[in-house]
Structure 1
Amino acid sequence: MPFPILQIPFDVRSEIISLLRPNEIVTASFSSKNFKRLIKKQYQRPSKLKFDVHIGYKGLIGNCQGIVLSAEHISELSEKAHEIICTNGYKRGFSSKFPVLYFENRVMGTKMIIDYVTDLFGTCIDELYVDRNGIWAIDWINSRQSKPLACLFLVKADNGDPIADEEAEYVLRYSKIGELLDIRVKVSENFRLTGKLGPFHHLSISEGQWINCDNLMNVDATVFAVHNSRLTDSELNAFLRHWRSGGSPRLEVLDMNFEREVLVPAWFDPELEIVETDEVRRYRYRDGSEMEIQGGFSIQRMDGVNATIVCDLGQFCMVVWHSDGH
């Protein structure tokens, strides 16, 4: 027997809606136009819900509580597995937990479900996960909301191919990301990038074989993480000389690991005046999490700012202690 939610008092109705999970709210919103209007009214005040979008192998909208809506190509449709409803421009079915919309045009479908969910909850998109097939969505999402994307994750495509050089350059140079740009996909062996990169708050490169000394010196970031680096001893010494003379002034954390296994302290240039330290200090990230630094090596910039370097076999981490206590 259907529950007459539209007929109960407003306060009780609002309490019932507040108890629903986001995927349940989205599913219920398809039941009637009146109930959809009711939900939108409930969420007219600023929403605390944070949504992320996954585009590539799936067109999914989700948040910390799971997927709320999915857009798939019509070729994925199995009418035996779903009770299909034909709607303007797409067909609608349901999985066990959320609606599934089927489109001939996946881009159009992805745009439609982003519009639908953000309009329903009165919120914006915080995080975007894309492979090379979803790069188009970066500018589109940023252009439709006043608050830029907080985080962008560029992930591997299903076939595992590296992204094209122009795609990598576009993401690194032109994506406007408020907090974190995380690139988890390989680029071609010949990829080169010159000039300034940033500003970023946190830049993470998982396949950092292409990062050279000029890139390291020209990244304008607070936190820079590079994995699978091929930088040489002489290049890292050159970067430290660059930093000591006032370069990379915003840098607070440089976290690197290398393809090769080398004992990093062995190659410090004497002119850098790096000394061992037994200090124990804590670095506090913007999100409130902390990293404890125990011992290592101390290096001082010409203006008096100190940094601690901790390193091990194939590992290098440099933390800069600015005057604000970080």
Structure 2
Amino acid sequence: MNGQDVPVRVHCSDGNLISYWHNTTDGLIETTNYVTNLFNIDVSEVRVFKDAINMIERMSRRQKKPLESVTALRIIASEEELIYILRDCKTSSQIEIRSYAPPNFRFSEKFRKIDFLYILYGQWLTLDNLFTMDGIDIVLGYSNLSDSDLNVFLKHWLAGGCPRLKYLDAGIHSVNILQVLAGLLDNAVFVQKSRNYTSPFGYTSILSDGYDIQRSDVPPAACLPYQNNTVLYAYSTNIDYGTYDGGVEQMINFAYMYATMANVRFDTKQEEEIEYHSDKKSLQDSLDSHKPDPSLGYGDKTTGSNLYNILKKFLNNGNVSICGAQVYIAVKRYPDESDVSDIISQLRANHVMVFIAVDSIPSGGSNSATLYEMSYETNGYCYFATGYDLSEAFDWMTAILDRPYQFIAQNFVVSGSGRIEIPTFKTPIPMGINDAVRFAITVQNHTLDNSFVSMNYTIESTDGSDVYKFPSNNAHPLYGTAQSGYFYSNGPFSFKWTIDYQYNNDAPQIIECRMYSYYYHDFLPLPDFK
């Protein structure tokens, strides 16, 4: 392996390969590099027994995609390791801590957003810790929480606290249900039948008889960014498989972050229906059975795409919320419509953000301008490319799913040559947390042509400690009309984004600039639309 002779045997019971190394850490790294390079995949989960911080950091640095899951299995984790895992570890985002904490360990900071948090030995957890947890599923094993602690937490939840929480499993020494429900019995209803909770993280819990309490005193949630949102993946039946598959991978990877995932194949002779899913398996099965297939298409180069019919159905589906939805579209056949203002108005009214990858060599249709207009007017973005560039740019575009809060959306109409200086901005990342920010920039509102000469930029912290440059060895190239990347910010640092551009004529060009974070930011103002 990589030029080394490595003894290997096959495990007698499970058939797995077991390799032997003088240094097991070196062996793990070599094996990981070999397998990920061989199959062109990323590491999704890390389980650490020792040297946790170093091992997690190594795996995080080696790839652009954040780890999905980290599990700590050491018998007793150090205080430094626990704080790192709870506060600084970059996942997207599942944390399992199956280790004991040191005696007298306390975590006094606010928990970062951790969608699935499992703590087996939670004797160190306090009610204040519970208040600051921001997750969907929270499982706490052996804890010292009391009946009165749970009572206070229930009242906090009823008043609107922990809005993302769907499942809390807390192990305590004993339960006095009258103390847990003190002051709440008037709102509690005893239910005898068992019910199942199907978690977005791949397990099902059976809830036996118990008490139901509904948050009836809390009004319906307002439309907010990334709050039980829906994601739609729509793709032409003529799109190349590489582009399609890149979108599939991201949809599957980040399905657990969203309430509903939807998919539809369009440009088929027999118009297909949008399918909606609340679990990863259903989504995977649907995508596997609806792959691009040109034989199902129109079979000519004149018929326009039926994309806008599909979007109308989505906007008026009546089943799932479209508020704050994200729509990712891979287009091979252009639509013919020249006026889609009604669709754009409805998208904007519901804060639906539209991201579109447009193949610059279409299989039919006549109008790509409305595609760009629709994404532009909803604070999404649109790019034009073909072949390898199309699929690479789409991989970056759909990776936005793991950074769902947009905090920069600016557009500039330019011509000739010049400089754009985006005013100093701060990232939404909380103090003390080092996390990635994703960004994208596009350079034309149509297929790349020879009027474009160059674009370069710097994203620099105002103290000069962090600088990201394009072009550079660390930056990915321009794929068609789009370039994307990410940089890390340690807390709410101030940055400036300076862009130099050159076109060889005075025709108006549009440059779109976008940035996305894992941490909350309100919806941004939309462009003027008439």
Correspondence 1:1-326 to 2 at 5 A = 92-96=6-10, 98=17, 100-103=19-22, 105-156=23-74, 160=75, 162-258=76-172, 260-271=173-184, 273-278=186-191, 281-287=195-201, 289-301=203-215, 302-303=217-218
Unpaired runs of 5+ in structure 2?
12-16, 221-318, 322-530
Distance in 2 (CA, whole Å) between partners of 1:223 and 1:171 is 17
What is the identity, as a one-letter code, of the residue corresponding to 2:176? Answer: L
Kept after mapping to 1: 8 A contact 2:52/2:81: no
Shift in CA distance, 238/152, structure 1 to aligned 2, threshold 3 Å: same
Q: TM-score, normalised by structure 1?
A: 0.59
Per the TM alignment, residue 295 of structure 1 is displaced from its structure 2 partner at its CA by 4.0
Shift in CA distance, 232/292, structure 1 to aligned 2, threshold 3 Å: closer
Q: TM-score, normalised by structure 2?
A: 0.37
String of CA shifts for 1:122-168, please: whole Å, max 9, x gaps. 11112211113243121221222222222211102xxx4x2111111
Per the TM alignment, residue 234 of structure 1 is displaced from its structure 2 partner at its CA by 2.1
String of CA shifts for 1:43-65, please: whole Å, max 9, x gaps. xxxxxxxxxxxxxxxxxxxxxxx
What is the identity, as a one-letter code, of the residue corresponding to 2:182? Answer: D
Per the TM alignment, residue 223 of structure 1 is displaced from its structure 2 partner at its CA by 0.3
Query: The residue matched to 1:173 in structure 2 has which SS?
Result: helix
Query: The residue matched to 2:128 in structure 1 has which SS?
Result: helix
Distance in 2 (CA, whole Å) between partners of 1:120 and 1:249 is 42
Moved more, 237-246 or 94-103: 94-103
Query: The residue matched to 1:125 in structure 2 has which SS?
Result: coil
Per the TM alignment, residue 205 of structure 1 is displaced from its structure 2 partner at its CA by 0.3
Count of aligned positions:
216
Shift in CA distance, 120/189, structure 1 to aligned 2, threshold 3 Å: same
Moved more, 90-99 or 147-156: 90-99
Q: CA RMSD in A?
A: 2.8
Per the TM alignment, residue 171 of structure 1 is displaced from its structure 2 partner at its CA by 0.8
Per the TM alignment, residue 266 of structure 1 is displaced from its structure 2 partner at its CA by 4.1
Shift in CA distance, 292/262, structure 1 to aligned 2, threshold 3 Å: closer
Shift in CA distance, 95/134, structure 1 to aligned 2, threshold 3 Å: farther
Unpaired runs of 5+ in structure 1?
1-29, 34-86, 306-322
Per the TM alignment, residue 282 of structure 1 is displaced from its structure 2 partner at its CA by 4.0
Distance in 2 (CA, whole Å) between partners of 1:176 and 1:168 is 13
What is the identity, as a one-letter code, of the residue corresponding to 2:188? Answer: V
Structure whose residues are more often helix by fraction: 1
Kept after mapping to 1: 8 A contact 2:67/2:90: yes
Distance in 2 (CA, whole Å) between partners of 1:261 and 1:324 is 40
Distance in 2 (CA, whole Å) between partners of 1:209 and 1:152 is 21
Identical residues among aligned pairs (%): 29
What is the identity, as a one-letter code, of the residue corresponding to 1:250? Answer: R
Query: The residue matched to 1:124 in structure 2 has which SS?
Result: coil
Query: The residue matched to 2:45 in structure 1 has which SS?
Result: strand
Distance in 1 (CA, whole Å) between partners of 2:176 and 2:320 is 32
